[in-house]
Structure formats: structure tokens, C-alpha cells
């Protein structure tokens, strides 16, 4: 048999053909694999972009209204409607839910709402966070914000001297207020001193003196500018949710509403609050909390007691990870509600601080 002179015995034409086909087959498989990776990457890219775009669309900026600015639109805060549902936040939510069920089953509270917002990362967790409650003394923090807001038009507003008149005393005498006050009729104090008494001691006389002297449009303007329903229409039946109330503290923490100096002053006053039967029960004494509590213990017109409500909301300055926590409760006894808030506060602090 003649040997192929051009290719030699080892590489006859048919052998090269099959070798070529085998190489093409490998190349085809590699191309398919690479194509799959590319399509997967592109799919992931566009899905991620779509998810990111969808997330961006959900972010709701809250801008300051009624300003005279022509070129700017001041941003006060951003609301992300969907709560966090991944990693430690999903675990935190499950643990809070379990604790709430336990508190309700043992009779400590009938209704419990919780709103937690990580002030460093911006993620939040809510359980019944849109349920409505009577705010009671929680709104004293809003009144303080309104007075600090007035400083824009009247820089000496906090130095103004206000007197506890007999007319104010007569009005207070008709109200079912249980808390006592150290302020006597005809005594005079500066606005700043009254603000501290109102917030730190939750003094109702100080609150009514301040309410009697502030311009209604300034107080209502705080609610309107932040997009929160105002109690002006019917303060006796006014209710607010834990999530909505958080905005008052968030704009203070971010100094987007009062400015840096006055936001610092306002939170400094809130940090002196002497109420220790709520959030403080679950947080070490060396950790600062700027907070305000509210309690409502009332009776119906027929004399039947209404389930009391107790709320405590504020910023816990956990090292390296400050967070806002608001717990609103309704139940049989204030003692049980205090313990419920303390238990939830301890759980949140432990999980977010890692202690």
C-alpha cells in the first residue's frame, strides 16, 4: 500500500477531519457554557437593575413645604415603605413577633406595635407599625420642636418669659390629669426652662403654659411640613402610629428640620427624660437614650375604665449603631405594659448591639 507522502502515516486526511470535528465539538461546548454564563450574568444584571430600580421607586422623599426658596427643595427625610426582610433584620423581626405573642398570651398587653430603624444603615423593622394609638405626652416632643422651629423667625423665642396665669390654672383644673407639677400659679419661667420641665419631667402645667403662648400655625406647621396628620381638628380623639411618630426623631437625628445646633439641643433635652419604666429597662445605664413616653389611663363616660396605653419612643445610642425604637402598647395594667416595653427594648438592644 502506498503511503501518503504529504501527511504521513500518523496524520491521514480522515484522521485530521475527525480531530477537527472533535475540536469543534469542544469549542461548541465551551461556547455554550460561556454563552450560558454570559446570559446568566446579563439576566442577573438586568434583574438586579430592575430590582434596584423598583426599590428606588418605592423610596418616598419628604420635602419641606411652604418655603420661599427658588432654586432648592430641602429634603427632610426619606421613607422606604418596605421593611427589611433579610439577614439579621429578618431574624430580629421573627424574635420580636415571638415575644409579642408571649406578652399577649400572658396578659401583659393586648395590643403591641413596634418600629425599629437602624440610623446607620437605614433599614427598619415594623410589627403592627401603622396601628393607631392615643399619643398622650408623646406630643410634648412635637411642641418642643415647634418652639425650636420658631427660632428662625424669632431668635430670642426661648428667652421669652411666660407666666402661669389663673386662667390657665382654671383650664387645667377641668382636665383629668393625674401627674402633679412643681409650678405654682403666677410663677414665671423662660420658654427654655418650661420646655425642659415639660419634656424631662413630663410636666403638664408647663405644657399648657407653652401651648397657651405658641402661635397655632407654628405648631400645626410642624405636622404639615412633615406630612403627618395634625391633631388640630379633634385633639381628644387624635391618634398616631409608631412609624409616623418616628419621623419627629429622625429629622432631629439627621438635623434636617431644625438645623444642627437646635437639633442637638432638642435631643439633649430628650436625653434627660427621667422616665425609667420603658425603654430604659432594656438598655444598660451607661447607654444614652433620647426619648419621650406617653401614658393614657382614662375612663369612659359611664365610669368604666378604658384599657390604659403606654408608649415609649426614642433613639438608643448603642456604640457604633444608634437606632430608633418606638413601642406602643395597650392593655390591662400599666405595670404589665411597662414590662412589655422593657422586654422588647432588651431584645432589640441585645440583637443590634450583639450583647
Task: Examine residue 290 and state whether it is found in any structural domain, yes or no.
Answer: yes
The reported pLDDT for the residue numbered 76 is: 73
- Greater confidence (201 vs 84) lies with 201
The reported pLDDT for the residue numbered 79 is: 66
Helix or strand holding residue 315 (H, E): strand 309-316
Grid cell listed for 90: 429578618
Q: Angle at the Cα of 303 (from 302 to 306), degrees rounded to 5?
A: 105
The reported pLDDT for the residue numbered 355 is: 75
CATH number of the domain to which 129 belongs: 3.30.450.330
The reported pLDDT for the residue numbered 179 is: 63
The structure's pTM equals 0.79
Provide the residue range defining the domain that includes 92.
85-134+248-258+273-355
Q: Is residue 330 scored above 90 in pLDDT?
A: yes
Distance from C-alpha of 104 to C-alpha of 110, rounded to nearest angstrom: 6
Number of C-beta neighbours around residue 185 at 10 A: 13
CATH number of the domain to which 216 belongs: 3.40.710.10
Grid cell listed for 55: 426599590
What are 79-122's pLDDT values in tens digits?
665 565 567 889 999 999 999 999 999 999 999 999 999 998 88
| Domain match, 254 and 345 both | yes
| Domain match, 146 and 230 both | yes
Query: What is the number of residues in the chain?
Result: 355
Q: Is residue 139 scored above 80 in pLDDT?
A: yes
| Domain match, 254 and 120 both | yes
Average confidence (pLDDT) over 276-280: 96
Q: What contacts 148, CB < 8 A, 6 or more positions away?
A: 158, 258, 262, 265, 266
Average confidence (pLDDT) over 252-262: 91
DSSP 8-state assignment for residue 305: B
**Residues 344, 345, 346, 351, Cα dihedral to 10°:** 90
| Domain match, 216 and 253 both | no
The reported pLDDT for the residue numbered 172 is: 87
| Domain match, 289 and 350 both | yes
Total domains present in the chain: 2
| Domain match, 130 and 174 both | no
The closest of 325, 311, 328 to 353, measured between CA atoms, is 325
Task: Examine residue 306 and state whether it is found in any structural domain, yes or no.
Answer: yes
| Domain match, 316 and 178 both | no
Task: Examine residue 149 and state whether it is found in any structural domain, yes or no.
Answer: yes
Least confident of 2-6, 66-70, 162-166, 276-280: 2-6
| Domain match, 182 and 141 both | yes
Grid cell listed for 225: 411640613
CB 62 within 8 A of CB 75: yes
The closest of 88, 89, 72, 71 to 80, measured between CA atoms, is 89
Query: Across-strand partners of 312?
Result: 293, 327
Task: Examine residue 75 and state whether it is found in any structural domain, yes or no.
Answer: no
Q: How far is CA 350 from the centre of its chain?
A: 18
Task: Examine residue 120 and state whether it is found in any structural domain, yes or no.
Answer: yes
| Domain match, 196 and 328 both | no
Most confident of 62-71, 72-81, 240-249: 240-249
Average confidence (pLDDT) over 192-196: 98
Task: Examine residue 355 and state whether it is found in any structural domain, yes or no.
Answer: yes
Question: CA quadruple 253, 259, 261, 263: dihedral positive or negative?
Answer: negative
The closest of 243, 223, 113, 212 to 231, measured between CA atoms, is 223
What are 143-182's pLDDT values in tens digits?
999 999 999 889 999 999 999 999 999 988 887 665 678 8
**CA dist 86 → 124, 126, 127, 175, 319 (Å):** 11, 13, 15, 47, 23
The reported pLDDT for the residue numbered 84 is: 59
| Domain match, 225 and 285 both | no
The reported pLDDT for the residue numbered 332 is: 83
Number of C-beta neighbours around residue 247 at 10 A: 19
Task: Examine residue 58 and state whether it is found in any structural domain, yes or no.
Answer: no
| Domain match, 232 and 157 both | yes
**CA dist 100 → 125, 205, 308, 332 (Å):** 14, 35, 17, 15
| Domain match, 334 and 349 both | yes
Average pLDDT of the residues of the chain: 83
Task: Examine residue 307 and state whether it is found in any structural domain, yes or no.
Answer: yes
CB 145 within 8 A of CB 258: yes
Q: What contacts 248, CB < 8 A, 6 or more positions away?
A: 141, 142, 145, 226
Q: What contacts 141, CB < 8 A, 6 or more positions away?
A: 199, 248, 249, 270, 292
Amino acid at each position: 500500500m502506498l503511503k501518503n507522502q504529504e501527511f504521513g502515516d500518523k496524520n491521514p486526511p480522515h484522521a485530521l477531519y475527525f480531530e477537527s470535528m472533535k475540536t469543534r465539538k469542544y469549542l461548541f461546548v465551551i461556547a455554550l457554557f460561556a454563552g450560558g454564563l454570559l446570559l446568566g450574568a446579563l439576566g442577573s444584571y438586568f434583574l438586579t437593575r430592575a430590582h434596584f430600580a423598583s426599590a428606588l421607586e418605592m423610596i418616598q422623599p419628604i420635602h419641606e413645604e411652604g418655603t420661599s426658596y427658588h432654586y432648592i427643595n430641602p429634603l427632610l427625610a426619606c421613607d422606604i415603605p418596605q421593611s427589611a426582610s433579610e439577614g439579621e433584620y429578618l431574624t430580629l423581626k421573627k424574635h420580636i413577633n415571638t415575644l409579642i405573642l408571649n406578652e399577649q398570651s400572658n396578659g401583659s398587653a393586648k395590643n403591641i406595635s413596634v418600629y425599629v430603624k437602624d440610623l446607620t444603615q437605614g433599614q427598619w423593622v415594623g410589627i403592627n407599625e401603622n396601628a393607631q394609638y392615643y399619643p398622650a405626652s408623646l406630643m410634648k416632643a412635637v411642641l418642643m420642636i415647634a418652639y425650636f422651629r420658631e427660632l428662625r423667625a424669632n431668635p430670642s423665642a426661648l428667652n421669652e418669659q411666660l407666666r402661669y396665669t389663673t386662667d390657665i390654672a382654671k383650664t387645667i383644673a377641668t382636665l383629668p390629669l393625674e401627674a402633679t407639677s412643681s409650678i405654682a400659679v403666677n410663677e414665671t419661667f423662660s420658654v427654655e426652662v418650661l420646655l425642659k420641665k415639660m419634656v424631662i419631667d413630663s410636666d403638664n402645667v408647663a405644657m399648657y403654659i407653652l401651648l397657651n403662648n405658641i402661635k397655632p400655625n407654628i405648631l400645626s406647621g410642624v405636622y404639615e411640613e412633615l406630612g403627618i396628620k395634625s391633631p388640630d381638628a379633634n385633639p381628644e380623639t387624635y391618634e398616631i402610629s409608631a412609624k409616623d411618630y418616628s419621623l419627629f426623631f429622625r429629622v432631629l437625628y439627621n438635623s434636617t428640620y431644625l438645623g444642627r445646633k437646635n437639633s442637638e439641643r432638642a435631643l439633649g433635652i430628650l436625653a434627660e427624660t427621667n422616665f425609667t419604666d420603658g425603654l430604659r429597662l432594656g438598655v444598660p445605664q451607661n447607654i444614652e437614650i433620647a426619648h419621650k413616653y406617653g401614658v393614657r389611663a382614662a375612663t369612659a363616660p359611664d365610669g368604666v375604665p378604658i384599657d390604659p396605653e403606654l408608649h415609649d419612643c426614642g433613639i438608643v445610642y448603642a456604640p457604633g449603631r444608634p437606632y430608633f425604637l418606638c413601642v406602643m402598647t395597650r392593655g390591662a395594667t400599666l405595670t404589665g405594659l411597662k414590662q412589655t416595653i422593657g422586654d422588647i427594648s432588651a431584645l432589640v438592644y441585645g440583637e443590634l448591639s450583639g450583647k
